[in-house]
Structure 1
């Protein structure tokens, strides 16, 4: 096997150190929002949680202090909301362990009530630990979050959690379990391109190239213009002996976003092929 084929057999979203948890982040953790454009009177936060989360965007340190005070004096749902806000503030400060602890404290304040909110907070805690690289602890939290999501009859949430579980399981070398988790994610989220992309990546890593091809085609159908899908499609094509198709896929990534990280990676693959 050539050097490029050996490398392609392993690379992908599961093994990129800087890769993020894949489950959709809650709105308060998404940076691409309307905050920079300002808000009108109808958009101003109304609840204590909304006000606290709004503060995490502009002044996370102050929000963390306020949320900590709120947490210490609250019980039940109010305590859960305070832990939620404290965790978000700490995520913004990239204090991952502390953020996870805050989310867990909020989750545990519910004591079996509101399993959907428990699942959400547990998943956020697991994601924080994934960002810190504490994979086994993250998986423990995600397993509990999955159970809570099932109790709440929230299949979409469970599907997202399954994708995060798959990332953790791959990192722990438990690929068969990761494959099962992604199967569950695809069943719950059949229109989610990321679930199909991750499935294709894992199938390719496991040497299941026919399955990988079908899965990457579905991902591309759902999200036709996506750099990571283009990169993965090229890897699968190359490992399947279709060099011309791989070249075309990688060149499309370079053309779509010149100078981007994905384009630079695609260009490096093309240069390796040209140098063989």
Structure 2
């Protein structure tokens, strides 16, 4: 039988609103991941190609304070779309400094600059970045408002991949507000828009598990695993679902696979803790 301690630990474990700690701020890491995925899927590049912008963004990761100064100097003489680019870099630097509220407002200002000259997909991305910054800042209700703007931008520009990502972000916000039913609807929309997104299926599994629908959670996590077979995060959640379903040996295999796959990761540390509790019950 599952120990009371382990049961409580697993119930408050991985969840759709949680964000991993990475060397690069989560929103920025997400932005780059999404760009790579969209280019691989044939989506057009949605950030304008600019040597100056690329240079400023690179500087923002290496020397954030200097990048912020550079962006301000660039902004002083910029017009049209270059103002959006300068503001994007400033927002990027602000996010790296942990100034998430400032970053959100900067991205929104960038979105509003010279709408006639700015690619609609770029505007959609900027509004999505602003929403992510607000989520990171904990301003969830405002984030939902901006996500509505982002979704309209993405819909108007036919940016299907981003529409799915925005649905995932809406789910994160709704979970944080305790609106699980609405979050489930948002994740359903994400799966429809991004049927090959392991992340959409993983978060769907996690939410289903948290509301006690273990059969659905198992189905979702199996799909996530088939799409991304070497994922510590998926392996960790698979073990959680298994142990709550009374499948201790399956849980043990899943958690051990996480340790074998990424022994230095936070997921591996959590998996090790779960295994020790399982062995000591």
TM-score, with structure 1 as normaliser: 0.86
Structure 2 unmatched ranges of 5 or more? 37-48
Aligned residue in 1 for 2:113: 109
Of 229-238 and 73-82, the range deviating more from structure 2: 73-82
Give per-residue Cα distances to partners, 1:12-65, cap 9 Å, x unaligned: 1335365645994137999xxxxxxxxxxxxxx853323322332333222212
How do residues 248-267 of structure 1 correspond to structure 2 at under 5 angstroms? 248-267=253-272
1:55 aligns with 2:63: no
How do residues 105-254 of structure 1 correspond to structure 2 at under 5 angstroms? 105-111=109-115, 114-254=119-259
Return the alpha-carbon distance in structure 1 between the equivalents of residues 28 and 271 of structure 2: 22
Aligned residue in 2 for 1:93: 97
Aligned residue in 2 for 1:5: 7
2:28/2:92 contact within 8 Å kept: no
Aligned residue in 1 for 2:32: 26
1:110/1:118 contact within 8 Å kept: no
1:22/1:194 contact within 8 Å kept: no
1:142/1:161 contact within 8 Å kept: yes
Return the alpha-carbon distance in structure 1 between the equivalents of residues 217 and 29 of structure 2: 21
Which SS does the other structure have where 1:126 is aligned?
Answer: helix
Aligned residue in 2 for 1:36: none
Return the alpha-carbon distance in structure 1 between the equivalents of residues 150 and 29 of structure 2: 12
Return the alpha-carbon distance in structure 1 between the equivalents of residues 179 and 276 of structure 2: 33
Which SS does the other structure have where 1:184 is aligned?
Answer: helix
Distance 1:244 1:119, change over 3 A: same
Aligned residue in 1 for 2:68: 64
State how many pairs are aligned.
262
Distance 1:137 1:247, change over 3 A: same
Return the alpha-carbon distance in structure 1 between the equivalents of residues 67 and 57 of structure 2: 8
Distance 1:261 1:23, change over 3 A: closer
Q: CA deviation at 1:218?
A: 0.7
2:65/2:93 contact within 8 Å kept: yes
1:21/1:127 contact within 8 Å kept: yes
Distance 1:164 1:188, change over 3 A: same
Of 183-192 and 18-27, the range deviating more from structure 2: 18-27
Q: CA deviation at 1:110?
A: 3.6
Q: CA deviation at 1:260?
A: 2.8
Distance 1:65 1:268, change over 3 A: same
1:4/1:272 contact within 8 Å kept: yes
Distance 1:217 1:29, change over 3 A: closer
Which SS does the other structure have where 1:25 is aligned?
Answer: helix
Return the alpha-carbon distance in structure 2 between the equivalents of residues 252 and 99 of structure 1: 38
